[in-house]
Amino acid sequence: MHGVKRVRYSREALAAHKERERAKLKEFQGLTAEVLSRKKGNDFDKESFELTTRLLHVNPEFYTVWNYRRRILLNGIFPTSTPVQINDVLSDDLSLTTTLLKQHPKVYWIWNHRQWCLRQVPDGPTDADPNGWRQSYWNKELFVVEKMLEVDPRNFHAWTYRRIVLENMPVKRPELSELAYTKRKIEANFSNFSAWHQRSKVLSSLWESGKRDKFKSIEEELDLVKNAMYTDPGDQSVWLYHRWLISLGDSKSVVDREIQSIEELLEEQPDSKWCMESLVFYKRLLLRSYGESLADEDRRKLASDCEELLVNLQRVDPDRKQRYMDLSQHKL
Amino acid sequence: MGSTLNVPLHVKYIQSLGENKDDLIYHMTAHLRMNAVYWGLTALCVMKDKDALNREEMIDFVMSCWDEKTGGFSPHPDHDAHLHPTLSAIQILIMQDALDRVDIPRVVKFILSLQQESGVFAGDEWGEIDTRFLYCAVNALSLLGHLHELDVEKTVGYIRRCRNFDGGFGNREGAESHAAQVFVCVAALAILDRLDEVDQDTLAWWLAERQLPSGGLNGRPEKLEDVCYSFWVLSAMSILNKIPWINADKLTAFILSAQDPDHGGIADRPGDQPDVFHTLFGVAGLSLLGYPGLDDLDPVYCMPASLIESKGLRKGWTALPRKASV
Ligand SMILES: [Zn+2]
């Protein structure tokens, strides 16, 4: 149970509450017994189907009832229906899940049923256009999921579902539009780590397929991140993403340039833990990857900078003191 | 809210859960009953009061949920079998030393039948996939002594493809890192002796950053703290031997502040309604933090450490040393 406030009832209020619950409980138990007994009897008729609708409205987490509902569809309803009728039934079931998701956006079982329905969509509307129904459903799914991400831009289920939708559309959406979508989400809120994450996946795929030049887009991304760092330097998302970008390249000049830019930010925000943390990481990266090409004096300076930063980090972020001490101990 | 753990009250709370049969919520959560029994029993074991629930009744309940048709366990009689309650059932039976009641080969067959081409596991025949189910399968097969029947490379391959740039893992390929999924992936890799697949520095950093100024832990960047992450985050940290990277005293205080001082039980955060799920993950977190008077919990299997050790399954995790007093 998440986010349900503890309430202290008076004796009278508790009794009244119990009384109200009793009626609901009786209805729920009666309905449950009826549905489970029909399920046991492999009853796949329309009436049983309607009963599952009623029960799922009361309790959409009752996954056994979703399973039974699908068995009724597969064994009782689809075999005697035309493709048009099947399509209509599925369309109704999708509406049912839309209604339920509005009240219960985090219930896995509703999302599962929705996906199952979409997998069942028959060919049609015509022989010439066998993907027509499917494509229009998946287009609508993308719309639904964007609505949900407008309400809660971090909804884990909605993001997962978004990826499923993009994978399953008969006519794929160009990945560049997804890249643009993540940028819109990020620019609306730099702390939207879900969008940064999605962006990392889309970019990787674009690089792999050669649709984007890796080196050029890393530079563009570093620009985007810089903007975010200056807007909200207290947010971990951007720093994680920045670290990833740097790890992809193999260029001392890029690391040097990024260190310089973070040092400028640190001057403005002298207690910024993320600036310090990142500086330690990149300075150590220089020592590790390019140490041999550095002058002794530069090497010593980098090492002593790191020491100093780690001492400061212990001060500004005492909860994670031990980590900074461990990093200090582990010389390269 | 109390600065100490009120063990007797929490034991009473867990005992009372089976007695609320006129509560709507009790019936509405029947699909989680098997899991709830496991959560309650494990919490009692950690609080050293395993016998507070009747052993025979519990075993009978678990066996009444075995589904002869599929070979798996359902969460409640007349519900459908699923991998998650199957793991809970096996964990309960092992804690109650009653595994001899089970047709092990049939359960193993049920579990293995759910592995997909990609290496991940589905929860049941309807095909929902999730790294949670992969962990359920790996954990259960290991407890049953049948891990050798698993295609380890295929399984590890899937986990590898779920790894993200922040070092964490998602619930499936492409998904964002989330502490609960980090736990299931890291624990599965620990059971399979494949922790080399983890980018330990990056992941331990990400995990340490889950602690918020309140002392509580969140599950993803910029989200709220929640007691259940005391286990998801902390168990992964203990497997990576990095619990000292967060402030243990503040986390302890946060968990304790989420206790219900009147009726017992622990909630997701202070002032909220307690439930058995957060009660287990609260005391599990406290056990890993070395809270005095508790029994050691194995973070990989989320079961009593002594039991896992006696089965020869202990992996190389470290919890904080048990304190002598508060
Ligand atoms: Zn929680």
Give pLDDT tens digits for A36-67: 999 999 999 999 999 999 999 999 999 999 99
**B22/A29 touch (CB, cutoff 8 Å), yes or no:** no
Give the count of domains, chain A: 2
Q: What is the CA radius of gyration of chain B?
A: 19
Is A72 part of a structural domain of the chain? no
Query: What mean pLDDT comes out for the span B292-306?
Result: 98
Q: pTM for this structure?
A: 0.96
Q: Could you give the CA distance from residue B41 to residue B50 in angstroms, rounded to a whole number? A: 7
- Is the same domain home to A259 and A324? yes
- Is the same domain home to A287 and A328? yes
The Cα of B166 is separated from the nearest Cα of chain A by a number of Å equal to 6
Is A286 part of a structural domain of the chain? yes
Give pLDDT tens digits for B104-123: 999 999 999 999 999 999 99
Query: What mean pLDDT comes out for the span B214-236?
Result: 94
Query: What mean pLDDT comes out for the span B39-46?
Result: 98
Residue whose pair of structure tokens reads 């493709």 in the numeric block: A83
- Judged against a pLDDT cut of 50, whether residue B125 lies above it is answered with yes
- Is the same domain home to A237 and A283? no
Confidence of residue A332 (pLDDT cuts 50, 70, 90): low
The per-residue pLDDT for A250 is 83
Residue whose pair of structure tokens reads 């329905």 in the numeric block: A117
**C-alpha A1 – ligand 1 centre gap (Å):** 7
Mean pLDDT of chain A: 94
Q: Judge whether B175 and B139 are in contact, CB under 8 Å.
A: no
Is A175 part of a structural domain of the chain? no
- Is the same domain home to A287 and A242? no
- Is the same domain home to A286 and A324? yes
- Judged against a pLDDT cut of 60, whether residue A23 lies above it is answered with yes
Instruction: For chain B, give the longest Cα–Cα distance.
Output: 51
Query: What mean pLDDT comes out for the span A279-296?
Result: 95
The Cα of A320 is separated from the nearest Cα of chain B by a number of Å equal to 5
**A323/B274 touch (CB, cutoff 8 Å), yes or no:** no
- Name every chain B residue with its beta carbon within 8 A of the beta carbon of A156: 171, 175-176, 178, 220
* Closest Cα in chain A to B210: A236
- Interface confidence (ipTM) of the complex: 0.95
A199-207 contacts, C-beta under 8 A, 24 or more apart: A199/A241, A200/A241, A200/A244, A200/B164, A200/B165, A201/A163, A201/B174, A202/A175, A202/A178, A203/A179, A205/A175, A206/A175, A206/A176, A206/A179
Domain of A208, in residue numbers: 184-249
- Is the same domain home to A259 and A309? yes
Confidence of residue B33 (pLDDT cuts 50, 70, 90): very high
Q: Judge whether A278 and A262 are in contact, CB under 8 Å.
A: yes
Report the 10 Å Cβ neighbour count for A41: 9
From the list B24, B250, B274, the residue facing A319 with the nearest CB is B250
Which two structure tokens, joined as six digits, stand for B240?
């990576």
Q: Give the CA count within 13 Å in the CB-facing half-sphere of B15.
A: 13
Is A230 part of a structural domain of the chain? yes
- Judged against a pLDDT cut of 90, whether residue B230 lies above it is answered with no
Residue A30 carries which side chain, given as an amino acid letter?
G
Residue B53 carries which side chain, given as an amino acid letter?
L
**B278/A40 touch (CB, cutoff 8 Å), yes or no:** no
Give pLDDT tens digits for B241-297: 999 999 999 999 999 999 999 999 999 999 999 999 999 999 999 999 999 999 999
- Is the same domain home to A196 and A232? yes
**B211/A319 touch (CB, cutoff 8 Å), yes or no:** yes
- Is the same domain home to A217 and A234? yes
Is A149 part of a structural domain of the chain? no
**B126/A67 touch (CB, cutoff 8 Å), yes or no:** yes
- Is the same domain home to A231 and A260? no
> Exposed (0-12), middle (13-18) or buried (19+): which is B161, by Cβ within 10 Å?
middle
Q: What is the CA radius of gyration of chain A?
A: 28
Give pLDDT tens digits for B44-88: 999 999 999 999 999 999 999 999 999 999 999 999 999 999 999
Q: Could you give the CA distance from residue B155 to residue B188 in angstroms, rounded to a whole number? A: 9
- Is the same domain home to A263 and A238? no
Under DSSP, is residue A5 helix (H, G, I), strand (E, B) or coil?
strand
Q: Judge whether A153 and A194 are in contact, CB under 8 Å.
A: yes
- Is the same domain home to A241 and A261? no
Query: What mean pLDDT comes out for the span A276-283?
Result: 97
Is A22 part of a structural domain of the chain? no
Confidence of residue B1 (pLDDT cuts 50, 70, 90): very low
Which two structure tokens, joined as six digits, stand for A267?
């001057």
Give pLDDT tens digits for A164-209: 999 999 999 999 999 999 999 999 998 899 999 999 999 999 999 9
Confidence of residue B2 (pLDDT cuts 50, 70, 90): low
Under DSSP, is residue A84 helix (H, G, I), strand (E, B) or coil?
helix
The more confidently predicted of residues B308 and A227 is: B308
Is A120 part of a structural domain of the chain? no
Query: What mean pLDDT comes out for the span B15-31?
Result: 89
The more confidently predicted of residues A119 and A249 is: A119
Q: Look at residues B216, B224, B257, B239 and name the one whose alpha carbon lies nearest to residue B319.
A: B239
Give pLDDT tens digits for B186-196: 999 999 999 99
- Is the same domain home to A298 and A324? yes
Residue A139 to residues A100, A111, A118, A167, A240: CA-CA distances in angstroms?
20, 17, 12, 12, 33
Q: Could you give the CA distance from residue B322 to residue A166 in angstroms, rounded to a whole number? A: 50
Q: Could you give the CA distance from residue A59 to residue B42 in angstroms, rounded to a whole number? A: 27
Q: Look at residues B74, B196, B183 and name the one whose alpha carbon lies nearest to residue B130.
A: B183
- Name every chain A residue with its beta carbon within 8 A of the beta carbon of B210: none
Is A301 part of a structural domain of the chain? yes
> What string of H, E and C letters represents the secondary structure of chain B?
CCCCCCHHHHHHHHHHHCCCCCCHHHHHCHHHHHHHHHHHHHHHHHCCCHHHCCHHHHHHHHHHCECCCCCCECCCCCCCCCHHHHHHHHHHHHHCCCHHHCCHHHHHHHHHHCECCCCCEECCCCCCECHHHHHHHHHHHHHCCCHHHCCHHHHHHHHHHCECCCCCECCCCCCCCCHHHHHHHHHHHHHCCCHHHCCHHHHHHHHHCCECCCCCECCCCCCCCCCCHHHHHHHHHHHCCCHHHCCHHHHHHHHHHCECCCCCCECCCCCECCEHHHHHHHHHHHHHCCCCCCCCEECCCCEEHHHHHHCCCCCCCCCCCCCCCC
